[in-house]
């Protein structure tokens, strides 16, 4: 009888340990990418990160906020990555937002942006709001 109880106890313990093992796929999260540069390496890095995160955790919400010179990424006449940006924008859970202050400072109109790129009154304010809502923050500096 004691051996039966010992076996049952070990079986329950083993089942609990197996159930406690982490899953192989990470849980989705929310992250905002801060892009302020027109440097090709930084812009390429952001697009690569979007693809890589989506390949591992497709439900992760990702937002790229561009201010300063970063907005050139979504202005076709200033970008060499237009097709890559269009592909990223088409992905679920990915948004691109441009600071209207930066647009004004650089004489860029909304009509000059790629389709489906949103604008926000203040790029820094957008990032701060996302962080207050629990989003992770990544500054895009790859070079």
DSSP secondary structure letter of residue 110:
G
- How many Å apart are CA 61 and CA 50, to the nearest integer? 10
23 within some domain: no
Number of independent structural domains in the chain? 1
Q: What is the pTM of this model?
A: 0.82
pLDDT value at residue 15? 45
Tell me: pLDDT of 133 over 50.
Answer: yes
8 within some domain: no
Query: Which residues constitute the domain of residue 43?
Result: 28-139
CA 139-78-107 angle, to 5 degrees, is 90
Q: Any idea what the CATH number is for the domain that residue 114 is in?
A: 3.40.1260.10
Report which of 59, 41, 82, 63 is spatially closest to residue 120, judged by C-alpha positions.
63
Mean pLDDT to the nearest integer, 107-116: 97
């Amino acid at each position: 009888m004691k051996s039966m109880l010992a076996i049952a106890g070990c079986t329950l313990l083993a089942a609990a340990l197996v159930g406690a093992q982490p899953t192989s796929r990470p849980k989705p999260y929310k992250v905002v990418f801060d892009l302020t540069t027109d440097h090709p390496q930084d812009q390429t890095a952001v697009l690569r990160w979007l693809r890589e995160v989506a390949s591992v955790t497709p439900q992760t919400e990702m937002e790229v906020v561009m201010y300063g010179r970063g907005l050139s990424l979504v202005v076709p006449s200033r970008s060499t990555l237009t097709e890559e940006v269009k592909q990223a924008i088409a992905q679920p859970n990915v948004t691109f937002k441009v600071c209207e202050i930066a647009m004004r400072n650089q004489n860029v109109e909304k009509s000059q942006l790629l389709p489906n790129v949103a604008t926000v009154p203040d790029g820094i304010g957008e990032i701060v709001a996302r962080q207050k809502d629990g989003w992770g923050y990544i500054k895009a500096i790859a070079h």
